[in-house]
Structure 1
Amino acid sequence: MNADSLDQKLISAFDGKIVRKDLLHRIKKGTNVPTFVLEFLLARFCASDDQAEIDAGMEAVLATLQDNYVRPDEANAAQSKVATKGKHRFIDKVHVSYVEKEKRHWAALENFNSRRIAIGEKFYRDNDRLLEGGIWAEVTVAHNDIEEDDYAFYIEDLRPIQLSRFDFDRYTQGRQAFSREALIIVWSTVAKLPQGRGAAASPGAV
């Protein structure tokens, strides 16, 4: 099996989990963003072996970072954007804490720099790591217009970038599509050729 056909097979078997290393290194040079955030976006937008689709995907990654990634020195502007627009989606690290005196949970966004954001129970119930150090996520923050409330923002939607649990069943199902020899080639690419062009698994895939 040649490298190109193996790349295609990996993309098909592990859709949304495969990142080309050369693309990661290319985009990493110009951004100060956690690697796994870049891997997440590249897997979403560049999971293809068609160069035109990859080029369009790279533009989509850069546009997403520009519009949604919160940098610490842009916290005030990000908060103002939510207050002005009503809501906005960000990529940020989210923590949830239980405040005993108030008998309720509050979310905090690190780079958005707000630690008193209302959050629904379903989010931390479904993603327990929010309560155990936090997770990076795509999070839609909305503005609370009720004057009587003592908080300005609430979380409308949250989609983890870091998975709270490893999907072993999906991994097993995808792995069945490969022979032992093909898997050896995949692992060699992931472990020994960090500068290689071939597809590489993002964390938790192959």
Structure 2
Amino acid sequence: MTPLDQKINTHFPGLVVRKDLVRTVKGNAIVPSYVLEYLLGQYCATSDEATIQTGIETVKEILRKHYVHRNEAGLVRSNIKEKGRYKVIDKISVALNEKADVYEAEFSNLGIKRVLVDSGTVKTH
């Protein structure tokens, strides 16, 4: 690692993403790059190779457990129904339903629509 890379890691901990790791983790997966970059920034933002390898395995495990693929949406919905709660990584859009005066979310890959969202959550995010 160059002195510049070390300096950047020192001053911006948890924010540095090595783009070569994005390509390594992504492979043939259909995961958006920004999702990978966020996770790699959380678990691999260091200069220590052992920590990076552990972080890569952690990222792969998180994606395996929580990223929703469209062809697995039914299984994930079933898990949500059975467990009552389930963490997912998916693209969410929120819109105001003017007739009912409520915010409703739509999960892109999961295929769930009209999920009520508190206005405080919308303002926060």
- TM-score normalized with structure 2 length: 0.92
Shift of 1:30: 3.5
Stretches of structure 2 lacking an aligned partner (at least 5 in a row)? none
Aligned counterpart for 2:109 among listed residues 105, 111, 118: 111
Separation in structure 1 between the aligned mates of residue 14 and residue 121 of structure 2, nearest angstrom: 22
Aligned counterpart for 2:14 among listed residues 13, 16, 34: 16
| Correspondence for 1:126 | 124
Number of residue pairs the alignment of both structures matches: 125
Separation in structure 1 between the aligned mates of residue 11 and residue 60 of structure 2, nearest angstrom: 26
Shift of 1:5: 2.5
Partner SS, residue 78 of structure 1: helix
- TM-score normalized with structure 1 length: 0.58
| Correspondence for 1:84 | 82
Q: Which has the higher helix share?
A: 2
Opposite residue 111 of structure 1, the aligned amino acid is: N
Q: What's the RMSD between the two structures over aligned residues?
A: 1.3
Determine what percentage of the aligned residue pairs are the same residue. Answer: 35
1:115-146 Cα offsets, whole Å, 9 max, x none, are: 1212111221122xxxxxxxxxxxxxxxxxxx
Shift of 1:16: 2.1
| Correspondence for 1:93 | 91
| Correspondence for 2:54 | 56
Separation in structure 1 between the aligned mates of residue 28 and residue 2 of structure 2, nearest angstrom: 27
Separation in structure 1 between the aligned mates of residue 94 and residue 15 of structure 2, nearest angstrom: 27
Opposite residue 51 of structure 2, the aligned amino acid is: E
| Correspondence for 1:32 | 30
1:144-184 Cα offsets, whole Å, 9 max, x none, are: xxxxxxxxxxxxxxxxxxxxxxxxxxxxxxxxxxxxxxxxx
Stretches of structure 1 lacking an aligned partner (at least 5 in a row)? 128-206
